[in-house]
Structure 1
Amino acid sequence: MCGIIGYVGEREATQVLMTGLNQLEYRGYDSAGIAVRTGGNLDVRKRAGDIETLEDAIEENAPTGSTGIGHTRWSTHGPPTDANAHPHTGEDGEVAVVHNGIIENYGSLKEELQAVGRTFTSDTDTEVIPHLIEQFIAGGASPERAFREAVDRIEGSYAVVATFANSDVVFAARNDSPLVVGVGGDGHYLASDVPAFLEFTDQVVYVDDGEVVTLHSDRFEVTTTDGLPVEKSVETVDWDVEDTGKSGFAHYMLKEIHEQPTALRQCLSGRVNELDGQVELDGLEAIGQPSQVQFVACGTSYHAALLGAQRLRDKGIPARATLASEYAVSPPPIDDSLVTGVTQSGETADTLAALREARGRGARTLAVTNVVGSTAARECDAALYIRAGPEIGVAATKTFTSQVVTLSLLAEYLDAGDADGALVRERLRALRDLPDLVQRVLDDSRAEEIADEYVGSESYFFIGRGPNRSVALEGALTFTEITYEHAEGFAAGELKHGPLALVTDETPVFTMVTGNDEAARKTVSNVKEVEARDAPVVAVTDGKTDVEDYVDDVLALPGAHPSVLPLLANTQLQLVAYHVANQLGRSIDKPRNLAKSVTVE
């Protein structure tokens, strides 16, 4: 899986494809390639490694033509090699294919094709598709019929795009993997994500599962797999191409950390009536008033869901967060639950599977996502957008913060009429003030100094209690993702039940201590436990306890309402992770082995 770009039109396809591939780098990849129709032939160039390696391979003799497809691959079947890179072709050179997803029955299809004499040159599941297409063409099928027949034979998740040597038409199909059409004045585009063609057009059509796209230079058609026409609306994407640039920052991640105040203002805009103590969220009529809420999510979104569930429980609304990959195989009783999928992209395969399981059992579903028109948004009964704008860095930053604030708004919305008005207004004021508080942390942070002090340590631990436990988990995940160093997050009280065995003077412990309640005071006791074992301790704190007396360094937080302090602590940890990774020379925006949008289970 990873990034797809396709084009039919008046431009030089190579230029369009390479622009698209560069825009898709943020999704993570380990090889890249293009196929361009040139004078009745397909010119295929592909290389393991980064896009610059591919650019070097085509620099002096670029394919010329106005129809083509491209791909960035994140390995699932076979290592990253030139042979395993996409596009893949059959033996006859008639068709080239790119594919995201997993073909579950590729083994049996490969055996069938080998039995009739077809030779395979890669380890991938994808290669069965062009061989199937060529086999159907050899039997007399047209390119379109051969493509449809091949799609009918494959099982699994896929977004498949094919181009042919003898036709300037591109065909595509989708099942459980994102695909979007770009409608332009100088041609038409296909991609796995909008940024791939945003430089050329902001007019998009979202493709649904079970649909086939036929792309011409002057038009496009969407049909079912049986060939029945499907009416699709063209939507305008409100992202500006400049939003996907670095704006002078060294990395997208650093830019997106600093964009958090703006993202939060966008998230809150028009939704908070502080005077009346009300939250107004449009389009949620379908979710009603659930008896409980079940969150399903993965990775960073799961940590946001943990905080969202805590917000709801604080209001007396039963709520729990479950890893989507576990929910799909062992779902809890649903009853009158609202099952809420938290997914930045709206395309996360595990989360979609969990939501579909819930819907199949009669639950109402809600998508909390950043992407208008994403699969989760279209399939759920309602969608609640976090409005963070495009996030290019693989490690989530502004989307995590915006998810948590959106879930806080959802908690207030579901609790409407039952809460103390003065307390609601106090919490809403805290949310209103949050963007400025995040800016203060960004302006005053000592994170770079802390990174200087502890870079090169043996391991890193992150601890906290209550909401700060979720921040500890997220801090450790972000640190691991971009530094490639070992880091773990724990509930602070669990240290003595095992993890203390790993504590040494080479394991810095980052502890979140906010407020002066029982949880904070007990966390200070946990700090003393690790300090007694010579571990260096960094406290992320608002100074309401005496924790500073027992630690080596402090990352200070401004005074704020308890409900927003975890997000301020998280901002400090984002900066620490970034600066350690930068000092280690890591690929911060595109960490090895990781993808931004995980579209396989």
Structure 2
Amino acid sequence: MCGIIACRTREPAIGYLLTALGRLEYRGYDSVGVAVRTTGGDIARLRTVGRIGTLEHRFRQWAGPVLDGAGIGHTRWATHGPVTEANAHPHNDCPGRISVVHNGTIENADRLRDVLRAQGHRFTSTVDSEVLSHLIEDASQTTPDLCEAVRQALDAVEGSWALAVLERGSGRIVVAADGSPLIVAHTARGDFAASDIAAIADWVEEFQVLDDGEVIDLSAAHRSVDEDRPSPTMVRCIWHSADTDLNGYADHMAKEIDEQPAVAARVIDELGGGVADGSLWTGLGLDRFDRLQVIACGTSLNAGMVIGNTLHQLAGLPVTRCVASEAGMDVPEPGTLCLAISQSGETADVLNAVSARVAERCPILAVTNSSHSTLARRADGVVSCSAGPEIGVAATKTFVCQIIAGVAVTVSALAATGRISRSHAAALVDDLRRLPDQLAAAATVAKSVVPPLADEFLEATGFIFISRGAGLPYAAEGALKLKELTYRWAEHYPAGELKHGPLALVGDGTPVVVVDNGDPRLATNIAEVQARGGRIVRIGSIGSSVPVIDDALGPWGPIQSAVAVQVLARTTALALGRDVDKPRNLAKSVTVQ
């Protein structure tokens, strides 16, 4: 959620820091700050509540000492403590000798703060992260080496962290990670560390992902303090800032909706060749499974249920859903494959659930958009959904790509284990290859017919989404998108459940969105709504309010409806004056529990 950037560069660091922080905006944040070494060896610290543009304006007016090439920066998404400048990072120790930026959660922060205060330390914020600066200050009393001081300080910490520490005078920067992502790159421009490759992609060709427990001196980015560790694995950088440009679009969400046909085609091209012969599955080295448990949150959970429904329809295997934040509520049965899905691969709830499943000896298959993420490193097998950079906080193209990648690998597993024939698997791949054109056609129709419908609902206080069977995850995704972007309540229900309570919500003009997967029973449910004055918007085949769905559906259900509900949410939100790329209170990568 929060973003970290640290650099030691040959040119002034501030230019790199501000650019990198701007590229981290998409993750969501409510305050921002930097600490930069001056040519005289002091540390200049500037923090602000609000957008990065305010911080940039302050530096344009900077009349202080000349700044040099060492600095750290941070975008904060508030968890511990309100949104104030005092709570913004970086945080200093008492004498101002070091500055610290931190992502993660210090679980024993209250106890540590009490101990440190009793020792005379003065705290200036209410955030958990500030205890780190004072712990490092204490450790520095017994060791002059900053790396060793950081390591000693972290011995007292319980929780997760990715952090960067800047030292006054020397300008040394030490970075460390445990349970929160951090990457390091050594380049001709200088040395960089960041929580997200998007921050530094234009300046690096390859990077190292820090392992849990690593502490590294950034001026020697290729060498770990722990010399017993093996040489780091380097990852080739394939992201570029041009991938995140608007390219003439009004917002990233519009761009990413339109990118769905192309990214769907890419995923199918990458994975499709290994489906019918089972090689995509066998190449993962996973054992045969008899049941599937989907572990995910939000949009990824909805994608997981589409994948699970596909598996169940094709092979009759039992599928269960685990909301990752509630993973402790159930124990998988023997023979279960756990399918963990996370766009970023850093979702804390998913990682915690995966850790519990590893302890229970359940094999983990990850579907993620980041092949070097924590989830990818912890899983037994990984399939990339290859959506490319997604800047809008509300997922669009990653939803579609997760479905395609997950369906591809599960169909491959069924073919490899003889549960479906290779000819059947090949026919399913042919159906997948038709999806890009279907998605493109759906976008064209939706952008034409949805705006007038959205105009009808600007005064509506809430929405209901209904469907049956394979359509239900798409109804769930539609409700999620609408509430994320419009800040109006929106709920989804199995259509047959309306009469068991939700019909009480329906009055004159209540918008009820029907994702029509062709189930004939929907006609009765629609009539129930209309009899009570509800306004039906039917996303279905020709003759529907939003005719985007083909009559012949694959086992993954009405995936074209995803485009329609995305357009509906975006159009309504824009009409209400919402920021569709950065909805309030939300972040792109949710790294807190």
What TM-score do you get using the length of structure 2 for normalisation? 0.95
- Residue 591 (structure 2) pairs with residue 599 (structure 1): yes
* Structure 1 SS opposite 2:180: coil
Please identify, of 477-486 and 49-58, the stretch whose mean Cα deviation from structure 2 is larger: 49-58
Distance change >3 Å, CA 215–CA 388, structure 1 → 2: same
1:461 aligned partner: 464
Count of equivalent residues: 585
Tell me how far 1:126 sits from its aligned partner.
Answer: 0.6
- Please list, as runs of the form range in 1=range in 2, the aligned pairs for 1:228-377 lying within 5 A after superposition: 228-273=228-273, 277-278=276-277, 280-281=279-280, 284-314=283-313, 315-327=315-327, 329-377=328-376
Distance 1:490 1:442 in 2: 25
User: Deviation string for 1:455-476 (max 9, x for gaps)?
Assistant: 2311111111112111111111
* Structure 2 SS opposite 1:167: coil
Distance change >3 Å, CA 273–CA 195, structure 1 → 2: closer
Gaps of 5+ in 1: none
2:109 aligned partner: 106
For 1:193, the aligned partner's letter is: D
Distance 2:230 2:224 in 1: 5
- Residue 433 (structure 2) pairs with residue 432 (structure 1): yes
1:132 aligned partner: 135
For 2:188, the aligned partner's letter is: G
Distance 1:82 1:512 in 2: 45
User: Deviation string for 1:245-266 (max 9, x for gaps)?
Assistant: 1121111111111100111111
2:48 aligned partner: 47
Match 1:513 to one of 508, 511, 516: 516
Tell me how far 1:424 sits from its aligned partner.
Answer: 3.3
Would the aligned equivalents of 1:49 and 1:80 in 2 still touch at CA under 8 Å? no
For 1:598, the aligned partner's letter is: V
Distance 2:143 2:229 in 1: 24
Tell me how far 1:28 sits from its aligned partner.
Answer: 0.5
Would the aligned equivalents of 1:273 and 1:279 in 2 still touch at CA under 8 Å? no
Distance change >3 Å, CA 60–CA 283, structure 1 → 2: farther
Would the aligned equivalents of 1:430 and 1:564 in 2 still touch at CA under 8 Å? no
Would the aligned equivalents of 2:470 and 2:556 in 1 still touch at CA under 8 Å? no
Distance 1:50 1:526 in 2: 46
Gaps of 5+ in 2: none
- Residue 504 (structure 2) pairs with residue 496 (structure 1): no
For 2:9, the aligned partner's letter is: G
Distance 1:374 1:564 in 2: 27
* Structure 1 SS opposite 2:160: strand
Match 1:146 to one of 139, 144, 149: 149
For 1:48, the aligned partner's letter is: V
1:561 aligned partner: 553
- Residue 95 (structure 2) pairs with residue 92 (structure 1): yes
* Structure 1 SS opposite 2:79: coil
* Structure 2 SS opposite 1:561: coil
Distance 1:14 1:449 in 2: 47
What TM-score do you get using the length of structure 1 for normalisation? 0.94
* Structure 2 SS opposite 1:415: helix
2:390 aligned partner: 391
2:67 aligned partner: 64
- Residue 48 (structure 2) pairs with residue 79 (structure 1): no
For 2:154, the aligned partner's letter is: V
Distance 1:171 1:230 in 2: 19
- Residue 170 (structure 2) pairs with residue 178 (structure 1): no
For 1:161, the aligned partner's letter is: A
2:5 aligned partner: 5
Tell me how far 1:390 sits from its aligned partner.
Answer: 1.1
Tell me how far 1:598 sits from its aligned partner.
Answer: 0.8
Distance change >3 Å, CA 32–CA 280, structure 1 → 2: same
- Residue 593 (structure 2) pairs with residue 590 (structure 1): no
Would the aligned equivalents of 1:508 and 1:536 in 2 still touch at CA under 8 Å? yes
Would the aligned equivalents of 2:495 and 2:525 in 1 still touch at CA under 8 Å? yes
Would the aligned equivalents of 1:441 and 1:558 in 2 still touch at CA under 8 Å? no
1:541 aligned partner: 540
Tell me how far 1:557 sits from its aligned partner.
Answer: 2.9
Distance 2:273 2:123 in 1: 62
Distance 2:282 2:378 in 1: 14
Would the aligned equivalents of 2:293 and 2:319 in 1 still touch at CA under 8 Å? yes
User: Deviation string for 1:547-575 (max 9, x for gaps)?
Assistant: x5xxxx44443444343552101110001
Distance 1:569 1:6 in 2: 42
Would the aligned equivalents of 1:462 and 1:475 in 2 still touch at CA under 8 Å? yes
1:32 aligned partner: 32
1:419 aligned partner: 420
Please identify, of 151-160 and 416-425, the stretch whose mean Cα deviation from structure 2 is larger: 416-425
Distance 2:230 2:355 in 1: 23
* Structure 1 SS opposite 2:104: strand
Distance 2:398 2:90 in 1: 32
For 1:356, the aligned partner's letter is: S
RMSD (Å), alpha carbons: 1.9
Query: Sequence identity, in percent?
Result: 38
For 1:592, the aligned partner's letter is: R
Distance change >3 Å, CA 128–CA 421, structure 1 → 2: closer
